[in-house]
A and B are shown apart, each in its own frame.
Chain A
Amino acid sequence: MSSAIETQTLRKTTLNALHRRLGAKMVDFGGWDMPVEYPTSGGLMKEHLAVRTGVGMFDVSHMGDILIRGPEALAATQWVSMNDASKLQENQAHYSALLYPEGTFVDDVIVHKLGQNDYLLVINAGTREKDYGWVKKNVSRFHCHATDVGDYYTQIAIQGPKAEVTLQKLTNVDLSQIKNYWFRHGTVCGLPNTMIARTGYTAEDGFEIYVPSDVATSERVWSDVTETGKEFGIVPCGLGARNTLRLEGRMALYGHEISDSINVWEAGLDRFCKIDKGDFIGRAALERAKAEGLKRTLVGLEAVERGIPRDGYKVLDSSGNEIGYVSSGSYAPFLKKNIALAYVPPSHAAIGHEVLVEIRGQNVKCEVVPTPFYKRTRKA
């Protein structure tokens, strides 16, 4: 009975009814009622492979969006995020993060430069309120305004090597001219001024489109993409495939690889943290942490014995002493291996180093391997 009450309080995207009509298996993800997989169109494994070899589409409207707008929007964005937003050109985006003064994560974000005084931060679903509160508070000393625009958009991700050819049939924008992590505005499915970003969370080529969040429009766009992608084998994809795809690509997930108790250096996100760009929240602590040296670091593991290392499992050294934990682990549907990301001391982080993962009382041998586990081959 309690579950019925909980269901009522879960938040829904405008495509919720459509997912249910498609027979999706739904789960509570960070307070959102979201599809985890669509068994009727083949399920998680098929969804994952469709994105690697063809095209898949995801409802990612649960993601949040914060607009920072005003004469000091750049200074404010610089202060609350770790990457160097001054390097962004109009219509360009980059991966970044909001940090606590301790150098740990409020959340990871994609910062889009919409215009001279106009930055859009795309944030995680489970941290929307926290992020918005954090940004609003910390940009208040700048001449700008932070607005939560998360509910304005239905965000659909179209991902895979056939994403471009699919979406191209629905827009007047020349997609071949949009580079990775750039975006444009144009007509999509007859909707003018729609944002099309060459971004994603699958380690594959693809786009994310931002359409008005009314049910009729959202469902129409979804079905237009579905129809158009048919010839390329498009399937709707849920959070299950989203997770295994991002894991193969070693992309961080909040609450797993990054959190309020993990710092930037530990997470290995150094190249997105521009410590010399000027002051920003978390910088001083990160400088201290760098001087002190790493206590743990994120590594890729591959099971060499039978067993799937999963989130939260203990990592042991070869003598059986606990040295760390798995932050994310799964069977990898494309690589057909059992892989994990894990936090271990730097002394155990060398490629080829052998560790054990305790899987329900059994110690399973795993090897430290290079990451990302999967890297797409880019067009020349």
Chain B
Amino acid sequence: MAYPKDYKYTKEHEWIQVSGKTALVGITDHAQQSLGDIVFVELPKMGTELVAGKSFGTVESVKAVSELYAPASGNVTAINQSLSAAPEQINQDANKAWMVKIELSNPDQLKGLLSADDYEKYVAEEN
């Protein structure tokens, strides 16, 4: 249940859900579990160009700061504003708590990402 099959994953523990040329980006259930109670999210402004593999924001729990890395390049077309007031949504359901919506500039980059099964294996090995 933890990792939806129709999402793709990074080794930095982000997920991306693609529909056509746009995609939603969030962090994985494993990431929220490792972080613990999330209390702060810093997201880019609308119109920011995300670059695959580069940091686009941060997520903070009470005791840790974690960078967010873009799974793919693209222009930010929407931000999940509700996370600013209620970042605990990420703990409650990391798969639904999307952070940014992007317009993919190079959909080919998705091929380099992990499938749900591969990500699950990766997490198991990492532990």
Contacts and interface: CB of A to CB of B under 8 A. Distances in A.
Contacts of A243: 63
Contacts of A244: 62
Given A240-B62, A331-B62, A308 B37 contact: no
A43 B58 contact: no
Given A45-B62, A331-B60, A331-B62, A306 B42 contact: yes
A360 B63 CA distance: 16
Contacts of B58: 360
A37 interface: yes
A50 interface: no
Interface string A199-217: 0000000000000000000
Given A44-B62, A44-B63, A45-B62, A331 B39 contact: yes
Describe A's contact surface by its main secondary structure.
mixed
A357 to B, nearest CB: 14
B36 A308 contact: no
Interface string B76-106: 0000000010000000000000000000000
A255 interface: no
Nearest to B40: A308
A360 B60 CA distance: 12
Interface string A9-37: 00000000000000001000000000011
A333 interface: yes
A310 B39 contact: no
Contacts of A331: 39-40, 60, 62
A39 interface: yes
Which of the four size classes fits the interface of chain B?
A: 10 to 19
A330 interface: yes
B40 A39 contact: no
Nearest to A241: B62
B46 interface: no
Nearest to B37: A45
Contacts of B39: 308, 331
A43 B63 contact: no
B60 A240 contact: no
B62 A330 contact: yes
A61 B41 CA distance: 35
Range of interface residues on A (Cβ < 8 Å):
10 to 19
B2 interface: no
A240 B33 contact: no
A333 B36 contact: no
Contacts of B123: none
A43 B36 contact: yes
Interface in A293-308: 306-308
A358 to B, nearest CB: 14
Contacts of B33: 39
Given A43-B37, A45-B37, A308 B63 contact: no
Interface string A310-337: 1000000000000000000011010000
A240 B42 contact: no
A44 B65 contact: no
19 contacts: A36-B63, A37-B36, A39-B33, A39-B36, A44-B36, A44-B63, A45-B37, A240-B36, A240-B62, A240-B63, A243-B63, A306-B40, A306-B42, A307-B40, A308-B40, A308-B65, A310-B65, A331-B39, A333-B37
Contacts of A330: 62-63
B97 to A, nearest CB: 17
A333 B38 CA distance: 11
Interface centre among B36, B42, B63, B84 (most CB of A within 10 A): B63
A116 to B, nearest CB: 44
Nearest to B91: A43
Contact of B62 (A306, A307, A333): A333
B75 to A, nearest CB: 22
A36 B97 CA distance: 26
A45 B42 CA distance: 20
Contacts of B61: 44
Nearest to A36: B63
B92 to A, nearest CB: 12
Interface string A273-311: 000000000000000000000000000000000111010
B125 to A, nearest CB: 14
Q: Top 6 nearest A-B pairs by Cβ distance?
A: A45-B37, A331-B39, A44-B62, A331-B62, A240-B63, A43-B36
